[in-house]
Amino acid sequence: MDLTITVRGCDQCKRNDRPATRYTLTVEDGEKVTRDLCAEDAVPLESVFGPLPQAEEMSPEDAIKEQLLTLMEDHDRDNRARRARAEAEWREKNPAPAKKAPAKKAATKKTAPAKKTVAKKTAAKKTGTKSLTVAEIEALKAEGKQ
Does residue 36 contact residue 22 with C-beta atoms inside 8 Å?
yes
* Model confidence pLDDT, tens digit, residues 20-54: 777 777 878 778 788 787 878 888 877 887 777 66
Say yes or no: 35 and 63 in one domain.
no
Q: What is the pTM of this model?
A: 0.32
- Count up the domains in the chain and report the number: 2
Q: What is the pLDDT of residues 55-110, one digit of tens each?
A: 556 677 777 887 888 889 889 999 999 999 999 999 888 887 777 766 666 666 55
CA distances in angstroms from 77 to 29, 72, 80, 84, 88, listed in the order given: 40, 9, 5, 11, 17
Instruction: Say whether both 8 and 68 belong to one domain.
Output: no
Mark whether 14 and 81 lie in a shared domain. Answer: no
Strand, coil or helix: 96: coil
Radius of gyration of the chain (CA): 31
Q: Looking at the structure, do residues 84 and 138 belong to the same domain, yes or no?
A: yes
Report the distance separating Cα 49 and Cα 41, nearest Å.
Answer: 14
Same-domain pairing of 35 and 85: no
Q: In which domain, by residue range, is 66 found?
A: 58-94+131-146
